[in-house]
């Protein structure tokens, strides 16, 4: 059985490895060779393998050698042990943070606007990444030849940090330091914030002596850990944002790179392997014994083969892309995005998502339980949450992908999918009083390209609760759309990310917040926010959930209240200029979270009770609260995390049906929605 070994030359630290089996996979476009060579580094009395991204790493294969992971390190910098984030990948020099994850120092954060001196921050179709800044990858015969890495930089002054105004190398600063905006917060933390930071730091997972993530929950009284002691990609996002906003980016960088190495490794369920490019749902650091009373640390990923229900983590790759962009925006370290391995991993996720299948819709077809709602809840098909995250990930990718001969087709596919997906969701997922009246009078069994009721929706599907519930001035995106089926439930995460990513029009985004404000008691109540509304009850609950005892009505995914949604609600409110709503919700959460010991979720219609099976000291509850507080304190930081309307997408008609004699889809309706 073949295995992949990652060899690093470390000088000071003991070495570790990511261990797993690999079959029929490719790396950087090269087919897997018959045999992978194993490298061994010894430090003191321990022998083990290492993946340390701050060192000079190489992938060794026979008969090929690929070196593109690390740059050529300056001996003087090695001797002085100056930390580096850029790894020789880009002309952009990033800031090395002095405040570690384990310290209580507030530190300083460099406003990401500094990076605008070097790159265009627009979201236009042409990406900002310059292909000429990449390291060349040389394939050499034999394994004893020194790695050849040629740096191609247009401006060596930028490489040396002479124009960045950031401390590099020997600690000297350029004369243009005053152009960098450095912010140091002097506000004293409240008691609840101090406790939250302590708990968040206690949840940090170390791998080879470096922070790589946070566990899902850290409840000392929990006797049945299940997988709550693992690092989840989805759950880590609010933790990552909290650290980034505080100026501590090392843990986020490590997380992005280590999860990237887990991406293409094969896991199977009943002898079947998922598509290449799938990101794991979670991973765990395990200590395994070796001969001679020695041990080593191993990263063990879970792609769903051990999960309850064996659900596929479709949203993991989408969250990873979103976090990658957020890391660059907040830290200014765009060099991470430009690394060859990161670009390759990004393309693998996109290729998996954009693969043609048996589907007529531009929305992403997934199975039930493939997102935050990871149990059977009747969301199979085209759930809104996945579509909103998919749209966000595509917009992120369009910014970060390097445009070259190998990626032009992918960039074109992204633009086409963005255009089609935005039109599809805005037109067919949207529900307000006007749309309800249209559906109420739908004619069925229509056949033609000119049909009004394109999905053959039967008016009797409109639930009685919705007719009286939806306000006059509000609206929302429904949870799912399939032939002859509209899931009219309100799913909070999907609607919030439709606002954050501008998947909805400005008018629709504002209407969603109008609805939340009008139905505050239903969607917020005593603890923000409901994950879905209303709950499935009685026979409907038994049929759709399979009588799931954890998803009983108004509990867990079935109408439970999740405090971690607060930071996303805050982001949406800041974007739409409704910050008072976020402040009101944050005040509610602050009253109870600490005394309730930071629960995973709350039960009952109004979120009065701690969830009957909720973990306490849930990390993304803690991190979501901290991220919310920092966003409310510095609303300008939120602009780095959301997207404005992209008017260029409205000009792109991807139908191209005129050649076959069919009518083109009209962008007039979409434009009119924007201009109203």
591: CB partners within 8 A, 6+ apart: none
* Residue scoring higher pLDDT (10 or 668): 668
C-alpha to C-alpha distance for 218 and 229, rounded to whole angstroms:
7
> Does residue 400 register a pLDDT over 60?
yes
Between the two ends of the chain, the Cα-to-Cα distance in Å is 62
Average pLDDT, the chain: 77
C-alpha to C-alpha distance for 73 and 83, rounded to whole angstroms:
11
Q: What is the mean pLDDT of residues 63-78?
A: 36
In degrees, rounded to 5, the angle at the alpha carbon of residue 29 between the alpha carbons of residues 24 and 31 is 40
In degrees, rounded to 5, the angle at the alpha carbon of residue 51 between the alpha carbons of residues 45 and 53 is 125
> Does residue 349 register a pLDDT over 60?
yes
Q: What is the mean pLDDT of residues 307-334?
A: 95
* The dihedral sign for the CA sequence 613, 617, 619, 623: positive
Q: How confident is the model at residue 665 (pLDDT cuts 50, 70, 90)?
A: low
C-alpha to C-alpha distance for 623 and 235, rounded to whole angstroms:
9
Q: What is the dihedral of CA 283, 289, 294, 299, to 10 degrees?
A: -10
Read off the DSSP letter of residue 460.
G
Read off the DSSP letter of residue 541.
H
Longest dimension (CA), the chain: 78
E-strand ranges in 109-249 read 109-110, 182-183, 204-207, 210-214, 231-232
Q: Which of 85-94, 97-106, 377-386 has the lowest mean pLDDT?
A: 85-94
Q: What is the mean pLDDT of residues 389-405?
A: 96
Q: What is the mean pLDDT of residues 514-523?
A: 98
- Count how many Cα atoms sit within 13 Å of the Cα of residue 655 in the half-sphere of its side chain: 17
C-alpha to C-alpha distance for 217 and 194, rounded to whole angstroms:
18
Q: Count other Cβ atoms within 10 Å, centred on residue 262.
A: 21
Q: Return the percentage of the chain with pLDDT > 70, whole number.
A: 68
* Residue 649: per-residue pLDDT: 79
Please tell me whether the overall predicted TM-score, pTM, comes out greater than 0.85 for this model. no
> Does residue 483 register a pLDDT over 70?
yes
Which tokens hold the place of 366? 């997934």
Q: What is the mean pLDDT of residues 66-90?
A: 36
Q: How confident is the model at residue 195 (pLDDT cuts 50, 70, 90)?
A: very high
What confidence tens digit (pLDDT) does each residue in 584-630 have? 999 999 999 999 999 999 999 999 999 999 999 999 999 999 999 99
543: CB partners within 8 A, 6+ apart: none
C-beta of residue 225 within 8 angstroms of C-beta of residue 215: no
Q: Count other Cβ atoms within 10 Å, centred on residue 645.
A: 14
- Count how many Cα atoms sit within 13 Å of the Cα of residue 622 in the half-sphere of its side chain: 32
> Does residue 21 register a pLDDT over 50?
no
Helix, strand or coil, per DSSP, at residue 60: strand
Q: What is the mean pLDDT of residues 649-662?
A: 54
C-alpha to C-alpha distance for 492 and 479, rounded to whole angstroms:
9
Domain ranges of the chain: 313-669
DSSP-assigned beta bridge partners for residue 282: 232, 302
What confidence tens digit (pLDDT) does each residue in 22-50 have? 434 444 444 443 333 333 333 333 333 44
Helix, strand or coil, per DSSP, at residue 351: helix
Helix, strand or coil, per DSSP, at residue 654: coil
Q: Return the percentage of the chain with pLDDT > 90, whole number.
A: 60
C-alpha to C-alpha distance for 656 and 664, rounded to whole angstroms:
7
> Does residue 416 register a pLDDT over 80?
yes
DSSP string, 357-425: -S-SSSSPPB-TT-SSS-S-SS--BS-HHHHHHHHHHHHHHHHHS--STTTHHHHHHHHHHHHHHHHHH
| Element spanning 317, H or E | helix 314-331
- Determine the length of the chain: 676
105: CB partners within 8 A, 6+ apart: 98, 99
C-beta of residue 483 within 8 angstroms of C-beta of residue 382: no
| Element spanning 24, H or E | none
Q: Which residue has the tokens 């979670």?
A: 282
C-beta of residue 266 within 8 angstroms of C-beta of residue 21: yes
Which tokens hold the place of 386? 């996945």
Q: Which residue has the tokens 């098909």?
A: 381
Alpha-carbon Rg for the chain, nearest whole angstrom, is 25
In degrees, rounded to 5, the angle at the alpha carbon of residue 370 between the alpha carbons of residues 397 and 639 is 40
DSSP string, 68-118: -SS----HHHHHHT---SSTT--SPPPPPPSS-TTS-----EE-GGGGGGT
Alpha helix (H) ranges present in 538-646? Answer: 538-545, 566-575, 579-592, 619-633
Q: What is the mean pLDDT of residues 127-156?
A: 34
Q: Which CATH class, in words, describes the domain spanning 313-669?
A: mainly alpha
Q: How confident is the model at residue 139 (pLDDT cuts 50, 70, 90)?
A: very low
> Does residue 335 register a pLDDT over 60?
yes
Q: Which of 385, 422, 386, 411 is nearest to 506 (CA)?
A: 422
C-beta of residue 277 within 8 angstroms of C-beta of residue 352: yes
- Count how many Cα atoms sit within 13 Å of the Cα of residue 483 in the half-sphere of its side chain: 5
DSSP-assigned beta bridge partners for residue 602: 561, 610
* Residue 500: per-residue pLDDT: 98
> Does residue 156 register a pLDDT over 70?
no
């Amino acid at each position: 059985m073949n295995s992949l070994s990652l060899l690093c030359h470390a000088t000071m630290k003991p070495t570790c490895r990511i261990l797993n089996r690999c079959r029929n996979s490719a790396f950087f476009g090269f087919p897997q060779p018959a045999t992978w060579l194993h490298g061994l580094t010894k430090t003191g009395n321990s022998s083990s393998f290492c993946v340390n991204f701050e060192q000079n790493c190489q992938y060794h294969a026979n008969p090929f050698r690929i070196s593109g992971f690390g740059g050529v390190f300056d001996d003087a910098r090695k001797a002085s042990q100056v930390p580096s984030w850029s790894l020789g990948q880009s002309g952009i020099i990033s800031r090395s943070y002095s405040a570690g994850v384990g310290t209580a120092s507030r530190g300083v954060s460099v406003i990401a606007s500094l990076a605008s001196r070097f790159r265009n921050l627009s979201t236009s179709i042409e990406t900002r990444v310059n292909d000429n800044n990449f390291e060349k990858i040389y394939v050499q015969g034999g394994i004893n030849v020194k790695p050849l890495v040629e740096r191609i930089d247009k401006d060596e002054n930028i490489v040396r940090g002479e124009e960045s105004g950031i401390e590099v190398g020997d600690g000297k600063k350029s004369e243009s330091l005053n152009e960098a905006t450095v912010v140091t917060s002097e506000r004293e933390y409240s008691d609840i914030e101090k406790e939250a930071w302590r708990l968040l730091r206690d949840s940090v997972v170390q791998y080879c002596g470096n922070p790589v993530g946070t566990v899902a929950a850290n409840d000392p009284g929990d006797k049945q850990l299940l997988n709550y002691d693992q690092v989840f990609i989805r759950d880590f996002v609010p933790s990552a944002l909290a650290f980034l906003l505080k100026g501590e980016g090392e843990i986020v960088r490590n997380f992005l790179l280590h999860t990237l190495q887990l991406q293409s490794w094969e896991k199977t369920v009943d002898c079947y392997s998922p598509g290449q490019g799938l990101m794991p749902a979670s991973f765990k650091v395990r200590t395994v014994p070796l001969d001679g009373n020695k041990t080593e640390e191993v990263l063990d990923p879970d792609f769903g083969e051990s999960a309850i229900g064996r659900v596929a983590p479709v949203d993991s790759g989408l969250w990873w892309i979103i976090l990658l962009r957020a890391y660059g925006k907040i830290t200014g370290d765009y060099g991470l995005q430009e690394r060859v391995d990161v670009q390759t991993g990004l393309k693998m996720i996109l290729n998996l998502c954009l693969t043609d299948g048996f589907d007529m819709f531009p929305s992403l077809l997934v199975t039930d339980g493939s997102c935050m709602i990871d149990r059977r809840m009747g969301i199979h098909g085209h759930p809104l949450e996945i579509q909103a995250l998919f749209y966000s990930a595509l917009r992120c990718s369009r910014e970060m992908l390097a445009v070259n001969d190998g990626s032009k087709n992918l960039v074109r596919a992204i633009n086409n999918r963005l255009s089609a997906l935005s039109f599809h969701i805005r037109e067919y997922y949207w529900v307000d009083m006007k749309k309800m009246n249209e559906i109420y009078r739908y004619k069925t069994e229509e056949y033609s390209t000119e049909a009004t009721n394109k999905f053959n929706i039967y008016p009797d599907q409109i639930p009685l609760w919705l007719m009286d519930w939806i306000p006059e001035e509000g609206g929302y995106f429904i949870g799912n759309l399939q032939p002859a089926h509209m899931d009219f439930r309100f799913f909070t995460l999907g609607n919030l990310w439709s606002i954050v990513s501008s998947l909805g029009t400005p008018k629709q985004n504002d209407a969603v917040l109008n609805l939340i404000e009008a139905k505050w008691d239903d969607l917020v109540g005593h603890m923000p926010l409901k994950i879905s509304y209303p709950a499935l009850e009685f026979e409907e609950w038994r049929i759709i959930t399979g009588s799931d005892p954890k998803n009983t009505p108004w509990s867990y995914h079935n109408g439970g209240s999740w405090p971690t949604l607060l930071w996303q609600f805050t982001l949406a409110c800041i974007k739409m200029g409704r910050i008072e709503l976020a402040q009101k919700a944050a005040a509610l959460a602050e009253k109870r979270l600490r005394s309730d010991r930071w629960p995973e979720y709350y039960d009952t219609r109004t979120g009065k009770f701690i969830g009957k099976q909720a973990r306490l000291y849930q990390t993304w509850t803690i991190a979501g609260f901290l991220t919310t507080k920092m966003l409310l304190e510095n609303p300008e930081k939120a602009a780095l995390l959301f997207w404005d309307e992209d008017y260029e997408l409205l000009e792109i008609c991807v139908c191209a049906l005129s050649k076959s004699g069919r009518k083109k889809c009209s962008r007039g309706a979409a434009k009119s929605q924007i201009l109203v």
